[in-house]
Amino acid sequence: MKQLLFLTMILNITLLSAMSQKPDEKLMDDWEYNTSIVLEDSKRMPTSMGGRSLSTMSSPKAYQSIKKKIGMSVGGAKDTNNFKANIDNGYLPKLDSITYEGQFYNHYFDTGLKGDECKDLFCPSYATAKRQNSLSKEKEFFLAVGLNSGVDEKDFKRKKLNLVVVLDISGSMNSKFNSYYYDKVGNKIENSEDSSKQKMQIANESIVAMLGHLKDDDRVGMVLFDHNAYKAKPLNLVKESNKLAIRKHILELKARGGTNWSAGYKEALKLFDEVKESSDYENRIIFLTDAMPNQGELNKDKLFGMAKEASLKGIHTTFIGIGVDFNNDLVEYVSKTKGANYFSVHSSKGFSKLLDKEFDYMVTPLVYDLELKLNNSIYTIEAVYGSPDAKLATGTLMSINTLFPSHNDGTATKGGVVLLKLKEHPEMAQSAEIFLEVSYKDVNGKAYHSKQKVAFKKRDVYYDNSGIRKAILVSDYVTIMKNWLIDSRAGCNDKVKWVMESPVSLMKRCMLYPPKHPLYPLVTTWERKSCALQVSKGYKKLFERFKKEYLREQAILKDDSLNKELTVIDTLLKQKTSEIKVNSRPKDDWQFKQ
C-alpha cells in the first residue's frame, strides 16, 4: 500500500510539473549568435517592451467593412521623420531626407473615386488643376493620378512570409539617436541630452515589436553584421521557435566593430537557400542600419547592387533607417528598386504604432512596372511629385516600379496620389484632350492596360477636387524645403563654388524642380559633412511669405493634418538668422518687394 501511495504521489508531482511548464519551453531556441564571445560586456538592454512581449503580440484585426476598399501608395520613402528629427536637433538635414512620396504618405488624399467605381486590382483616377504660382508668378498645369484599388479591406490578406531581418551592430549604433556619429573628418559630435537612447537599443526594441506581427506559418531568420556577418537565426517557421528566448537574445544585442553592409546582405541571401521556393510566400529582407555607405555600394556585388539583383529573383527589401545621421541619399536610390520601400525609426514606441497599423501593407507589394503615357503633343511632363522614379519621366511617359497597399478611411487614401506638373505647348495644333494610357503588372506577372481621357478646363485658376489642391500644397512645401537645403548646404561647404553666371532670384529658385537647381549635381559630393541648422535672411522672409499662403490654403481645405508642415516652418522661423556664404561673400538674396 505504501508503495502504491508513493507511486501515486510521484505521478501527481509529474502531472503538476507538466501543467505548469511554459509552452515555449517545448519549442526550439534556434539562436546561433554567441553574444558572450563576439561582443564585449556592457550594460544589459531592457527586457520589457511597454507591456507587450513577443509571445503575446499579434497582428491587428482589419476593420471589417463591406464597402471599404484599400488604397495604393508608391514604393520608396514612407516618411520624412529623418528630415524633421535633424531640424529638431539643430542640424541641416540631408537633401533626400525629405521626398515628395514620403511627405505625401503623411497625409490622406481624396482621389475622386467613390464607392464601387473600382472593380480591379488597380484603378487610376485623374484630376486636373491650373493656377498662378504666387512665388514664381508662372502659370502652372497639374495632373493628379489617384491610386485606387477595388480590393475590399476585409478581403485583403498578405502572403505568408519568408522574412530575414538584417541588423547593423557596428560601433556607430552605440551613439545616441539625436547626435551625428561622424563629422566630415571623423570627429564624434555629442548631443547634451545624455538621457536619450542608443540606436542599438531602439533597433532591438523595434525588431521585437516587428516580429510580434508574424504568424505561425511565417518563417523568420536573422543576420547580424559589423565588419563581418553572422547568421544569428536560421529561416524557420515561427510556430517552431521559442519566441521568448529569441526575444531575449535580440534585446541583449550590443554594438561593436566596423561596418560591412555587403557582407550582411550576402549572408541574408544565403538563408533563402534553406527553404523551397513557393508562390504562397513573399520573400523579404528587412535591413536595419544607421547607414553611411559610400557610392561604391552601388556596384553589382555590393549592397545596393545585390538588392537590385535580389528583386529580380523575387526577394524584396525594406530598408529601415536608424538615427538622425542616417544616409538617406543612397538608400533612397535603393528604394527605387522593384518591391522595395524605406522607413525611418526615431522611437521604438512610434515604430510599434506604425507596425500595428501597417505591417501587412509594408511587406506586400501589389503592382509592378506601372507606366503612364500622355498621348497629346500640347502637354509634356515637366516634373513628377510623389514617385521615387521621378527622374525616369520623359516628355510623355511616367514610370513607377512598385505600388503597395495603403489605408483608405472611406473618403481618402493615405499617400494615394502622384502629381504631375505639365508644360503647355499651345503652338502645337491638336485636340485639347489628353489621352492617358496606363499599363502595369500584378505580382504574378500578368499585364493590364487601361485608357482614359482628361482635359483642362478653360478657367485660369481651378482645382478639380481637394485631393489635387492638397497635393499641390504639400509638393510646394517639399520643393521649397529641398531648394533651401541645396542653398544652405552650399553655404555650409567651404569648397563649393557658385556656378550660376547670372543668379536666379530666390523667389523663382525656391520653386524650381530640385533636380533643375544649378547646384543639384554637386550635392552628393559634399553631404557627408554635418552642418548646423541655419536659415538665411532671404529664406526667413520666404518662409514667412509661404506660411501665409500655406495657412490660406489650409483654411480652404479645412485639414488639420497640414499642421505637420507648419510645425517645421515655425521651427525654422524661430532660428537665428544667418547668412549663407558662397565664395566667402555674404549675400541677402531676397528680391521680393511688398
Domains and CATH numbers, the chain: 25-56+159-362 (3.40.50.410), 108-155+366-393+406-465 (2.60.40), 468-586 (no CATH)
Q: Residue 487 carries which side chain, given as an amino acid letter?
A: D
Question: Given this model, what pLDDT does residue 108 score?
Answer: 97
pLDDT value of residue 323: 75
For the four alpha carbons of 471, 473, 475 and 477, in that order, the dihedral sign comes to negative
Integer Cα distance of 540 and 576 in angstroms: 10
Q: Which amino acid is at 336?
A: K
Q: Look at residue 221 in the predicted model and tell me its pLDDT.
A: 96
Question: What span, in angstroms and rounded, lies between the C-alpha atoms of 406 and 108?
Answer: 10
pLDDT score recorded for residue 362: 94
Q: How far apart (Å, rounded) are the C-alpha atoms in residues 152 and 409?
A: 12
Distance CA 317, CA 127 (A): 32
Give the closest residue to 411 by CA, choosing from 564, 563, 559, 562. 559
Q: What is the largest CA-CA distance in the chain?
A: 111
Q: What was the pLDDT predicted at 265? A: 95
What residue has cell string 560591412?
260
Alpha-carbon distance of 436 to 376, in angstroms, equals: 9
Positive/negative CA dihedral, 455, 461, 467, 469: positive
Q: Which residue has the cell 555607405?
A: 293
The Cα–Cα gap between 10 and 3 comes to 11
Confirm if 259 and 296 have CB atoms less than 8 A apart.
no
Asked if 221 contacts 32 with a C-beta cutoff of 8 angstroms, the reply is no
Half-sphere exposure of 38 (CA within 13 A, CB side): 21
* Vertex 439 angle, CA 434 and 443, to 5°: 155
Cell numbers 510566400: residue: 281
How far, in whole angstroms, is CA 502 from its chain's centroid?
A: 37
Helices marked H in 493-562: 506-509, 537-557
Q: How many CB atoms lie within 10 A of CB 237?
A: 15
Per-residue pLDDT at 56? 34
| d(C-alpha 125, C-alpha 579), whole Å | 45
Q: How far apart are CA 400 and CA 535, in angstroms?
A: 34
Handedness of CA 538, 543, 548, 549 (dihedral sign): positive
CA distance linking residue 195 with residue 492, whole number of Å: 29
pTM: 0.83
Q: Rounded to an integer, what distance in angstroms lies between the CA atom of residue 494 and that of residue 185?
A: 14
pLDDT digit string (tens) for the chain, length 594 residues: 545 444 444 444 443 343 334 445 567 787 787 654 443 333 333 333 333 333 333 333 333 434 689 999 999 889 998 899 889 888 888 888 899 999 999 999 999 987 678 899 999 999 999 999 998 889 999 999 999 999 999 999 999 999 999 999 999 888 877 665 545 443 444 443 334 688 899 999 999 999 999 999 999 999 999 999 999 999 999 999 999 999 999 999 999 888 889 999 999 999 999 899 898 999 999 999 887 665 566 677 788 889 999 999 999 999 898 876 666 666 667 777 899 998 888 778 888 888 888 999 999 999 999 999 998 778 999 999 998 887 767 788 899 999 999 999 989 999 999 999 999 887 776 667 899 999 999 998 999 999 999 999 999 999 999 999 999 999 999 999 999 999 888 877 655 444 443 456 888 889 999 988 888 887 766 666 678 898 988 899 999 999 999 999 999 999 999 999 999 999 999 998 765 554 444 444 444 443
Residue with cell 522607413: 343
Helix then strand count (H, E) for the chain reads 14, 21
CA-to-CA dists, residue 504 to 488, 518, 551, 558, angstroms: 15, 10, 27, 35
Assign residue 493 a region: left if phi > 0, alpha if psi is -120 to 50, beta otherwise? beta
Question: pLDDT value at position 55?
Answer: 36
Q: Output the pLDDT for position 493.
A: 65
In the prediction, which pLDDT does 396 show? 84
Amino acid 591: pLDDT = 43
Indicate the residue type of 343.
F
> Can you give the pLDDT at residue 180?
58
Residue 525: its pLDDT value, please? 63
Residue 416: partners with Cβ closer than 8 Å, 6 or more residues away: 71, 72, 73, 108, 109, 111, 146, 147, 148, 406, 408
- Helix/strand/coil (H/E/C) assignment for every residue in 429-473: CCCCEEEEEEEEEECCCCEEEEEEEEECCCCCCEECCHHHHHHHH
Indicate the residue type of 199.
K
3-class SS of residue 580: coil
